[in-house]
Amino acid sequence: MTTGGPALACRALACRADGRTIISDFTLELFPGERVALMGPSGSGKTTLLTTLSGLLPPAAGRVLVHGVPLDAQPELRAELALVFQSYGLLSLLTAAENVEVALRAAGIPPPEAMRLAAEALERLRVAKFADHLVEELSGGQQQRVAVARALALRPRVLLADEPTAEQDPDHREIVLDELLAAAGQGTTLVIATHDPEVAERCDRVVNLRAGAPPRAGKGSS
């Protein structure tokens, strides 16, 4: 594992969905502990880009590099990345706690430790009182906080969060943001797709995706 270079990078990336090019010739470098807001109008490709960077959607061209190593060459590097899905991606017939524990156990963490870490993460995201509730019984905002808790509990090197505050009231928005930014303070590279300028303001820089045309450069305004 290399150190000192970008935690996550993409070079000449192209993403396609349904036969259409959404992103093309996109280059970006993200450094350890960096906090980046990914902005752009609805439909500009933020979700598509995050999904590609996470390794879930294979790029149509170009490469995603994790600590300088191509993700397609070493798929196990995906364990270094966590994605908070816009639609949360929770298992609705499991409880909030089980959702977090299952992810931790899949990452190789033994059950007692997984239970402890899950409880801690749910507490930090103010959803501890719903730990034993089925996800399908929770509100959208509560589910979103469980999804953030799950990603944070994994302590990933890179956390990609797709509009993680979109369903939050102002108080909970600050809690979610504080927790995400705290992870960055501990070295996690953080990318937050957002429409909220106040969220972007708390990041180190902004990468803008333009509407209507595939973006050419990854360096956005800051």
Ligand X SMILES: Nc1ncnc2c1ncn2[C@@H]1O[C@H](COP(=O)(O)OP(=O)(O)OP(=O)(O)O)[C@@H](O)[C@H]1O
Range in contact with ligand X (rule: CB under 6 A) among 46-54, 109-117, 128-136, 169-177: 46-54
Q: Which two tokens stand for residue 127?
A: 């959803």
Q: Does 27 bind ligand X (CB under 6 A)?
A: no
Q: Does 201 bind ligand X (CB under 6 A)?
A: no
CA 77, chain centre distance (Å): 15
CB of 198 to ligand X, least distance (A): 16
Q: Which two tokens stand for residue 211?
A: 């509407």
Range in contact with ligand X (rule: CB under 6 A) among 17-25, 108-116, 127-135, 200-208: 17-25
Whole-angstrom Cα distance, residue 141 to residue 138?
8
Cβ atoms < 10 Å from Cβ of 219: 11
Range in contact with ligand X (rule: CB under 6 A) among 37-45, 114-122, 146-154, 177-185: 37-45
Task: Give the residue, chosen from 48, 60, 128, 196, that forms a contact with ligand X under the rule CB under 6 A.
Answer: 48
Q: What is the DSSP letter of 152?
A: H
**How many binding residues for ligand X (CB under 6 A)?**
12
Q: Does 46 bind ligand X (CB under 6 A)?
A: yes
Site for ligand X in 49-108 (CB under 6 A): 86
Q: Does 45 bind ligand X (CB under 6 A)?
A: yes
Q: Does 18 bind ligand X (CB under 6 A)?
A: yes
Would you put residue 89 in left (φ > 0), alpha (ψ -120 to 50) or beta? left
Whole-angstrom Cα distance, residue 80 to residue 95?
25
Buried/exposed code over 202-211 (b: 16+ C-beta within 10 A; e: otherwise): bbeebbbbee
Residue with Cβ nearer ligand X (129 or 210): 210
Q: Does 220 bind ligand X (CB under 6 A)?
A: no
Whole-angstrom Cα distance, residue 80 to residue 218?
22
Residue with Cβ nearer ligand X (18 or 201): 18
Binding site for ligand X (CB under 6 A): 17-18, 22, 40, 42-48, 86
